[in-house]
Amino acid sequence: MSTKCKEQVREAGMWPRYHQCKRNAIKDGYCNQHHPDTIREKAEKKQAEYIQKRDNSPVRKLWRACDQLEQADLFADDYRKLRPRLVELVDNEDPWLGWLGLVIKQMDAHLNAWDSCPKV
């Protein structure tokens, strides 16, 4: 005679009553449904699905966008502080720093566009 699963399962109904699972034991005294490895795998799968759903939610996307905007603001502030020093380096006409003038022009164009965007 085969042994039964040793998991205690709750009966359907209003009052909590428990009985031994009626399935045959397959591994370590548990059936496939109640084996700890199966329960762990199922919980990990549900957790991964929840994390993916949470990370793709509109609220999370909005939070990430707000973080990126905040980082862009900080970067723009840092650039504005460094700009006089960069211009000074370009004005010295060092041949190795010729590319820096182009970078400054591009950054100024980006910052002008950034500043013209409405802030919330």
Give the DSSP H/E element, type plus range, for residue 34.
none
- CA–CA distance, 28 with 37 (Å, rounded to integer): 11
pTM of the entire predicted model: 0.52
pLDDT (tens digit, 0 to 9) for every residue of the chain, 120 residues total?
A: 578 999 999 988 888 899 999 999 988 899 999 999 999 999 999 999 999 999 888 888 888 888 888 888 888 888 888 888 877 777 777 666 677 777 888 888 888 887 777 766
Give yes or no for a contact between 27 and 47, defined as CB atoms under 8 angstroms apart.
no
DSSP string over 53-119? HHHTSHHHHHHHHHHHHHHHHHHHHHHHHHHHHHHHHHHTT-GGGHHHHHHHHHHHHHHHHHHHSPP
Give the C-alpha separation, 56 to 72, whole Å.
Answer: 22
What does the domain layout of the chain look like in residue ranges? 8-55, 70-116
Q: What are phi and psi of 2, to 5 degrees?
A: -80, 150
